[in-house]
Amino acid sequence: MTLIDGNLISNQIKEEVKEKVSQLVQAGHKQPHLAAILVGNDGASQTYVGHKVKSCEQVGFKSTLIRCEDTITENELIQQIHQLNNNPYIDGFIVQLPLPKHIDADKILLEIDASKDVDGFHPINFGRMCLNLPAYIPATPMGIMTLIERYKIETAGKHCVVIGRSNIVGRPMSVLMSRSGIDCTVTLCHSRTKNLKEECLRADIIIAALGKPQFVTKDMVKPGAVIIDVGITRLEDASKKSGYRIVGDVDFEGVKDQCSFITPVPGGVGPMTVVSLLLNTLQASQKLIYNN
Ligand code: NAD
């Protein structure tokens, strides 16, 4: 079994991005600049945004964190987004999800200028991705594709089962795995799928993105399958300083000797999400996807 080391690959990519930024700056270009809007005080969201800001510093990007009270109205948040859309010094920005219940996230995401939508959540980017046109690819699926590429995992003609159909992970993942050049036959499973175990047992590649800790067990995995674990769940753990531990959607200990490749949690897909955001921002700063 080969452990897919997301920390190692993400550090390599950060070095590559840092080198590219230094070349751009030496050639007289400005530093790429990512902004993030964080609404409220959700612990996990603060941690994720913190990682994104720190990663920007590591590679030589500028970053701007805009914090809003969780009492902000939908209209006020839209104003904030319009300001970033019109700010020529910001190359790309994200609105950290989830948003408070009184704000309609779909409505908010529609307000982001597609050319600055480095999370790739806007329907224009999603549509362009489906049509194989230049687009910002959502960060987590893009990170998984990078791991598959860098570990030279065979995909052509393989059967890939994606568990979870969310707009940010499962559904885009199913699109990317079926693309020409990757050439998997994809089955997209969700909470209403019947015979999930049988579907998984037919899979050469399982991508688990359902948010249910240790859901995928050894009896669901064909010997030699590739396992990509996207899940991140915080479980209470008094033995940890933080009071919790992070668990994925796969029973790692049970599955690891059954498969050919596996991503650990933490240290697998998670770090790749952040570097994909950096790569999208680098593309935005060079106007490689949209040239306006
Ligand atoms: P979501 O809650 O939006 O979607 C979950 C999906 O799983 C749904 O489509 C649902 O139909 C499906 N599902 C739920 N229960 C199921 C079951 N019993 N059988 C089959 N399908 C089932 O979640 P999400 O935003 O896609 O995130 C999924 C997981 O990935 C979460 O743990 C989240 O924290 C994690 N995540 C990790 C990263 C990362 O960087 N590693 C990024 C985003 C999300």
* CA gyration radius, the chain: 19
pLDDT at 218: 98
Cα 256 to ligand 1 centroid, rounded to whole Å: 21
Question: What is the CATH topology of the domain spanning 139-269?
Answer: Rossmann fold (3.40.50)
| 189 Cβ inside 6 Å of ligand 1 | yes
- What's the CA-to-centroid distance between 233 and ligand 1, angstroms? 10
Distance CA 281, CA 292 (A): 15
CB 36 within 8 A of CB 53: yes
Instruction: Say yes or no: CB of residue 187 within 6 Å of ligand 1.
Output: no
Alpha carbon of 280 to ligand 1 centroid (Å): 23
Pocket of ligand 1 contains residue 92 by CB under 6 Å: no
What is the residue-wise DSSP string for 38-65? EES--HHHHHHHHHHHHHHHHHT-EEEE
In the chain, where the domains are located: 29-114, 139-269
The confidence score (pLDDT) of residue 121 equals: 97
Active site residues: 52, 96, 119
Exposure pattern of 144-178 as b/e (b: 16+ CB <10 Å)?
Answer: bbbbbeeeebebeebbbbbbbbbebbbbbbbbbbb
Residue with token string 């600049």 = 33
Residue 274: closest CA among 88, 17, 3 = 17
Segments of the chain with pLDDT less than 70: 292
Q: Which residues contact 240 (CB under 8 A, 6 or more apart)?
A: none
Strands of 205-208's sheet in order across:
2-3, 261-262, 226-229, 205-208, 159-163, 185-189
What is the CATH class of 29-114?
alpha beta
> CB 182: neighbour CB atoms within 10 A?
17
Same fold, 29-114 and 139-269: yes
Q: Give the closest residue (by CA) to ligand 1 atom 18.
A: 191
pLDDT tens string 171-217: 999 999 999 999 999 999 999 999 999 999 999 999 999 999 999 99
Cα dist from 93 to 43, 168, 208, 285, whole Å: 20, 16, 27, 11
Task: Please tell me the predicted confidence (pLDDT) of residue 291.
Answer: 83
The response to whether residue 262 sits with its C-beta less than 6 Å from ligand 1 reads no
CB 164 within 8 A of CB 208: yes
